[in-house]
Structure 1
Amino acid sequence: MGAYVCNFGRCSITAAELRGTLEGLKIAWKVGYRKIILHSDFTTAINIIEHRNDDVHRHGTIARNLSYILDQQWEVRVSNVYIEANYAADYLANKAHDFDFGTHHFNVCDRDLIKWIKHDVLGIFHERSIINMN
């Protein structure tokens, strides 16, 4: 089991999701995985990935790169999950702020990540708070 975090600095949520997905797929390909289930709770990114939406828009380059890697000799199934079933990804996204710019891959998961993976698999629900920054 491994994990990765991406720190892209300031960018849109869509750009972060697409770039993070691309980086994860690159890692999976390099490691040798050939059957992937890609979970995301962000439907905009899922639509771009599933429909190979590489029209001319501000995420077109990332979308084309995703299309290229998805066309490799492997099976990638895209799955929409509710945010409440994606705590491990949320944990990693928040942890990315502790790292320098770029992608960082780990061959071992820390205890906190393993805890969140177990919560996701078992379907344990936790309420989320939204803090008003205004």
Structure 2
Amino acid sequence: MELAWGLGYRQLIIESDCADALRWIEHRHSNGRPFTIIHSIHLLCDLEWCLVFSKVARSLNGVADSLAKFNLNDEFDVVFYEEPPIGLALD
């Protein structure tokens, strides 16, 4: 969300296969647990833009799941792909 905001996007669809995370974000609670990332997301939600949160089954979102697992390492770099990376499983 930070990246999208910084790039000037003002309409965003956020898909997740984690129903609990979406509930915590949409209902502004985390069962009393101080999740820093959820708080950061709430701050981003307060910006002037149009956000849609959507639950998507992992089995229906194979590309995102493959990208999340693709080339795992200990670094937290942002990588932009203009084309699917070679070796990405698109089943």
Fold in common (TM above 0.5): yes
Q: What are the ranges of 5 or more consecutive residues in structure 1 without an aligned counterpart?
A: 1-24, 117-125, 127-134
Q: Does 1:64 align with 2:39?
A: yes
Contact 1:54 1:64 in 2 (8 A): no
Q: Does 1:109 align with 2:83?
A: yes
Name the SS for the 2:52 alignment partner. Answer: strand
Q: What are the ranges of 5 or more consecutive residues in structure 2 without an aligned counterpart?
A: none
Runs of 4+ more than 6 Å apart: none
Shift in CA distance, 64/54, structure 1 to aligned 2, threshold 3 Å: farther
| CA shift digits 1:26-46 (9 cap, x unpaired) | 111111111111111111111
Shift of 1:76: 0.6
Distance 2:44 2:7 in 1: 14
Name the SS for the 2:53 alignment partner. Answer: strand
Structure in which a larger fraction of residues adopt helix:
1
Map of 2:15 onto structure 1: 39
Shift in CA distance, 52/113, structure 1 to aligned 2, threshold 3 Å: farther
Normalising to structure 1: TM-score of the pair?
0.58
Name the SS for the 1:105 alignment partner. Answer: coil
Map of 2:3 onto structure 1: 27
User: What number of residue pairs does the alignment pair up?
Assistant: 91
Distance 2:88 2:66 in 1: 10
Q: Pairwise CA RMSD of aligned residues?
A: 2.4
Identity over aligned pairs, percent = 29
Distance 2:71 2:3 in 1: 16
Shift in CA distance, 114/100, structure 1 to aligned 2, threshold 3 Å: closer
Within a 5 Å distance, the mapping from 1:3-18 to structure 2 comes to none
Shift of 1:64: 1.1
Contact 1:36 1:75 in 2 (8 A): yes
Task: Considering Cα pairs closer than 8 Å and 6+ residues apart, tell me whether 1 or 2 has the greater RCO.
Answer: 1
